Amino acid sequence: MSDQRKAYGVLGSSTLAFTVCFTIWMMFGVIGIPIKNALHLNETEFGLLTATPVLTGSLIRVPLGIWTDRYGGRSVFFILMLCTVVPIWLISYATAFWHFLVLGLFVGLAGGSFSVGTPYVARWFKKERQGLAMGVFGAGNSGAAVNKFVAPVLIAAGGWMLVPKVYAALMLAAALLFWLGSSTDPAHQVKSDTGFMDQVRMLKDPRVWRYCQYYSVVFGGYVGLSLWMVKYYVTEYGFDIKTAALLAACFSLPGGVLRAVGGWLSDKYGAYQVTWWVMWVCWVAFFLLSYPQTDFAIQTVGGTRTFHIGLNPVLFTALLMVVGVAMAVGKASVFKFISDDYSGNIGAVSGIVGLAGGLGGFILPILFGVVLDLTGVRSSCFMLLYGTVCISLVWMHFQFRREGLQAPRKALAAD
């Protein structure tokens, strides 16, 4: 088999495997709603339930990135998927809140697959095509939308307990298909002794911190909203779970599938330009989404007049879809930064940046629940995200401006 065919086989099988992993990683975003009702959870507890798998999926990313560099992505990816099958199945038999939290920690390992697949796929392609390749693989984020299509149907057919059983079988089948479709190249294994302390030293590089912050917005925000939006539609607009999941998929689907477009744009126009515009689009959209449903009255010469300001479901979904597209492009552009600046140890650096993004996805649903319990304003989740985008824009402006001013000085000094 030619190297090109092997490369496309790796890309296809890895993308399929990652899609399944992401589908299962987002499972509680849908089945968490009937579980919340059955256990009488408050909003903060619901946020913790949905976010728990994201925690382990984030923390495991750094060691998985190192192991991928050292042992190769094929074996690490395959073993990781197999390790999640039993915990997924056992969720069907959970009855107490702590049961779901403990099992969710093990199921969350599936989320670490991103830090395995990214360097594994990237090394099969030339540098000028790595952005597109990583974008295609990252389109597996669309598993968040797959979950919203599949889980409500399974719930209607046999209750929420049927979902984990089907997903466990799906994970096992995907692992076997991945092993059959993927390949190994010993030359892709990095002969290094990279360890935890090496990861810590990388944090001295301000670029790593910068990319972590960007990714916590575009990926962490994507995960947080994917977990939160089904319930948001149910409580804000009164939709049933099937309709709410379908509308929420309007955000999740482009937020995953169009990541490949983000990779292509980053290859063509550069990571900085693409990320800059992504942040501005999110800034405007989150500002509009933040405005709560408002009724007010004013005194006129003809008497009191009342007005209502708020987004109806159509406008809300349209804006949410714009955010999904922007985040898809931004997720790819951030990793284009990494492939450009750290080509020798993509796995290690992507593990750190992926960890930051995953932790954002873990913290945000909990914060959404806490702020909602405190204020009672459902759109407060978008207010939080608006603030994170503001930080990114300010940081990008001053940091890249400083680097732009320093570049001519370094050139003169070299002459």
Q: What is the pLDDT of residue 252?
A: 84
Count of domains for the chain:
1
Residue 190 included in any domain: no
DSSP letters spanning 101-148? HHHHHHHGGGGGHHHHHHHHHHTTS-HHHHHHHHHHHHGGGGHHHHHH
Q: Is residue 356 one of the residues assigned to a domain? A: yes
Q: Give the C-alpha separation, 213 to 219, whole Å.
A: 10
Cα–Cα distance between 118 and 130 in angstroms, integer?
A: 10
Looking at residue 163, which CATH number applies to its domain? 1.20.1250.20
Q: Please report whether residue 262 resides in a domain.
A: yes
Tell me what pLDDT residue 413 has. 45
Is residue 305 classed as helix, strand or coil in its secondary structure? strand
Per DSSP, 291 falls in state: P
Measured distance CA(356)–CA(361) in Å, rounded: 9
Whether 351 maps to a domain, the answer reads yes
Expressed as residue numbers, the domain containing 400 is 3-184+198-414
Q: How far apart are CA 210 and CA 206, in angstroms?
A: 6
Is the residue at 192 inside a domain?
no
Task: Decide if 189 is inside a domain.
Answer: no
> Could you read off the pLDDT tens digit of each residue along the chain, which spans 415 residues?
567 788 888 889 999 999 999 999 999 999 999 999 999 999 999 999 999 998 898 888 778 877 887 788 888 999 999 999 999 999 999 999 999 999 999 999 998 888 888 888 888 887 777 777 877 887 787 888 889 899 999 999 989 999 999 999 999 999 999 999 888 777 666 655 555 566 556 667 777 888 888 888 888 898 889 889 999 999 999 999 889 999 998 888 887 777 778 877 887 888 888 888 898 999 999 999 998 888 888 888 888 888 888 889 999 999 999 999 999 888 888 877 777 777 666 666 777 787 888 888 889 999 999 999 999 899 999 999 999 899 888 877 777 655 544 433 443 344 4
Kindly state the helix (H) or strand (E) to which residue 334 belongs, with its residue range.
helix 313-341
Query: Is 148 within a domain?
Result: yes
CA 367 to each of CA 30, 357, 388: distance values in angstroms, whole numbers, following the listed order: 18, 15, 13
Give helix 162-181 / helix 143-158 axis angle, nearest 10°: 140
The rounded distance, in Å, linking the Cα atoms of 115 and 259 is: 16
Residue 193, in any domain of the structure: no
Provide the residue type at 242 as one letter. K
One-letter amino acid for residue 24 of the chain:
I
